[in-house]
Chains A and B, each alone.
Chain A
Amino acid sequence: MRRFVFSLLILSLVIFGSLPVSHGQSAAIGSKVAARANSSLKLTLPVKEGSLRFAVMGDTGSGTDKQRQVANMMVQYRNIFPFDFVLMMGDNLYGSESAKDFETKFSDVYKVLLSDKVKFYATLGNHDLPMQINYANFNMNGKEYYRFKKGNVAFYSLNSNYMDKKQLAWLESELAKDTSDWKICFFHHPPYSSAKGHGSDQQLREIVEPIFVKYGVNVVLTGHDHVYERIKPQKGIYYFVSGAGGRLRESDVQTSPLVEKSFDRDMHFMLFEVVGNQMYFQAISRTGETVDSGVLVNQRKQK
């Protein structure tokens, strides 16, 4: 009898154990795993329905393990904060730029995001060859500087390596007719930065800041210095330095009256969410730690 019961038990285990789980069960199990994996992630963004969500990363193209770790963290956060596109702050590829380099320093690293149809919008850094403007995955459409619009937000990718009269004239004319609620400019060299590595690009600032102020640019995103820094609003504009997506210059941020918040102990990326007149942001380290977060209020709508 004992043998019979034991055999029956074994048989039932074999039969039920080998049955495929249904799709619903699988998804439930999958979501539990994802939930467990995501439980350590802390999101400060509201994830409101219909909001505009995007990520920001800069100075990424090193092809190192740490760049991959930042990319993996972005993928994890995307599970709880589904962003549609990523802004790249330049230095997209360090060193050589062969076909293989595009893979090892970009498309392999962000493979999961690319396969999920996340779009990347690049700008040129001082390590980038201008030919990158024709690379499909950078969505620059053959232009060194360009504008695109998502919802009520206009994005301007500028080439700060080469801010000549033509580009300035283009920027002015585009901004002058832009009626978007939010105007965001992104480029490589920071007009304001407290990092020792490079610091504020005052030459660039002298030329572009009056245009930003005149035409109501709300937010300026940059890279170049391999740290994170949120600058105290300057002439009513919010400035960020996000240049440690693939390279880090540790302990590089100096004490400065410009700094609102900084992080230079590890690499990072950023998440943004625009909800009407508010723009939420969160800076996240390679290991998933939230290093800064907050909400920006649209300056022009405050009046």
Chain B
Amino acid sequence: MPEFRGLPEVRREYQWLASCLPFCSSMKHKIKRSASLLLTTLVFSMGVLPIPSSVGIAQVQQKQNSQICTMDKQTISAFENRVKNYVKLRNQVKAKLPKLSKSSTPEQLESYRKSFEESLRAARVGAKRGDVFNTEGSDYIRRTLKSEFKGKDRAQLREIVFDAQTQAVKLRVNYPYPEPTELVEMPATVLLNLPQLPKEIKYRFVGHHLLLVDRDNNLIIDYMLNALP
């Protein structure tokens, strides 16, 4: 007889907590591979963490990790601010459009999407790659994805991401994601570890590249090349 059991929440809790740790774990690998001299130099170059000679490598590593996590928090926070700025702009544009009913006809949907797309493109003239992701944000996301795609589930993850037919997608900021092209499912375990986005914006993979796409008008807001290993 089938019965429901309360599963241990450890796995799930781990997933939630893990969202703020990927860089720490990826750095462990790096640190193991790095010479202690390089590590010490790096820490000193940050000018934050003076290391007494008596401190062991493990302690340095621990402090380094906590320091890097703080830095990552700043990177994530800066990324989220740029996302917020985008959302603010797109909502200003949206506010000027006729309101879309939640029970629209196909004609209304098509017309709304086109007007939203055109108005937003006009408001973002000059937008270019890296405006939202920027270098630090991209580095963080690359490291996070690398760590995810090195894990035990890497084969399944690659299957999900690379099986989709996305060859037709031209990567152009401020242009729409082509309508008839399949959307890649964002693997749930990966999503939990990336910086969270507001509902108006989605991450989307196209091959090895990662895009930010507007949910309501399908515009490519920004993209980063070779996000995946």
A, B assembled together: yes
Interface residues of A (CB under 8 A from B): 95-103, 107, 126-136, 140-142, 144, 160-166, 189, 198, 201-204, 206-208, 210-211, 213-214, 216, 233, 235-237, 299-300, 302-303
Enumerate 22 A-B pairs (CB-CB under 8 Å) in ascending A order: A95-B179, A126-B182, A126-B183, A128-B183, A130-B215, A131-B112, A134-B100, A161-B186, A165-B19, A166-B196, A198-B163, A206-B11, A207-B15, A207-B189, A210-B11, A210-B12, A216-B4, A233-B2, A236-B3, A236-B5, A299-B4, A300-B4
User: Does B179 contact A126, Cβ atoms closer than 8 Å?
Assistant: no
Number of B interface residues in the complex (CB < 8 A):
51
Interface centre among A97, A99, A134, A136 (most CB of B within 10 A): A134
Residues from chain A with a CB closer than 8 A to the CB of B199 are 144, 166
Residues from chain A with a CB closer than 8 A to the CB of B110 are 97-99
Q: Is the interface of B mostly helix, strand, loop or mixed?
A: loop
User: Does A203 contact B153, Cβ atoms closer than 8 Å?
Assistant: yes
Per the bound structure, the CA–CA distance linking A164 and B189 in Å amounts to 9
Per the bound structure, the CA–CA distance linking A303 and B102 in Å amounts to 42
| The 4 A-B residue pairs with the shortest CB-CB distance in the complex, in nearest-first order | A102-B106, A236-B2, A136-B103, A142-B102
User: Does B153 contact A202, Cβ atoms closer than 8 Å?
Assistant: yes
Residues from chain B with a CB closer than 8 A to the CB of A97 are 110, 179
Per the bound structure, the CA–CA distance linking A198 and B113 in Å amounts to 31
Residue of B at shortest CB range from A132? Answer: B109
Interface string of B163-201 (1 = CB under 8 A from A): 110000000000000011011111111111000110100
Interface centre among B7, B157, B190 (most CB of A within 10 A): B7
Residues from chain A with a CB closer than 8 A to the CB of B4 are 213-214, 216, 235-236, 299-300
* B166 CB, nearest partner CB in chain A, Å: 11
User: Does A129 contact B105, Cβ atoms closer than 8 Å?
Assistant: no
Residues from chain A with a CB closer than 8 A to the CB of B19 are 165
| Contacts A131-B216, A299-B4; A126 near B15 (Cβ below 8 A) | no
Per the bound structure, the CA–CA distance linking A166 and B191 in Å amounts to 11
Q: Is B36 an interface residue (CB 8 A)?
A: no
Interface residues of B (CB under 8 A from A): 1-7, 9, 11-12, 15-16, 19, 100-107, 109-110, 112-113, 153, 156-157, 160, 163-164, 179-180, 182-192, 196-197, 199, 202, 215-216, 218
| Contacts A135-B106, A210-B7; A130 near B157 (Cβ below 8 A) | no
Residues from chain B with a CB closer than 8 A to the CB of A132 are 109
Residue of A at shortest CB range from B16? Answer: A165
User: Does A96 contact B180, Cβ atoms closer than 8 Å?
Assistant: yes
User: Does B185 contact A161, Cβ atoms closer than 8 Å?
Assistant: yes
Contact of A141 among B102, B109, B180 (CB under 8 A): B102
Residues from chain A with a CB closer than 8 A to the CB of B101 are 134, 136
* A170 CB, nearest partner CB in chain B, Å: 11
Residues from chain A with a CB closer than 8 A to the CB of B105 are 99, 136
User: Does B2 contact A203, Cβ atoms closer than 8 Å?
Assistant: no
Residue of B at shortest CB range from A205? Answer: B188
Per the bound structure, the CA–CA distance linking A21 and B53 in Å amounts to 106
| Contacts A129-B218, A164-B192; A134 near B202 (Cβ below 8 A) | no
Residues from chain B with a CB closer than 8 A to the CB of A303 are 1, 3
| Contacts A95-B180, A300-B4; A134 near B104 (Cβ below 8 A) | yes
Residue of B at shortest CB range from A165? Answer: B196
Per the bound structure, the CA–CA distance linking A52 and B108 in Å amounts to 33
Residues from chain B with a CB closer than 8 A to the CB of A95 are 179-180
Residue of A at shortest CB range from B104? Answer: A134
Residues from chain A with a CB closer than 8 A to the CB of B197 are 164
Residue of B at shortest CB range from A199? Answer: B159
User: Does A210 contact B109, Cβ atoms closer than 8 Å?
Assistant: no
Per the bound structure, the CA–CA distance linking A271 and B153 in Å amounts to 36
* B68 CB, nearest partner CB in chain A, Å: 23
Per the bound structure, the CA–CA distance linking A216 and B7 in Å amounts to 11
* A231 CB, nearest partner CB in chain B, Å: 13
* A160 CB, nearest partner CB in chain B, Å: 7
Residue of B at shortest CB range from A130? Answer: B215
Contact of B190 among A102, A128, A142, A203 (CB under 8 A): A203
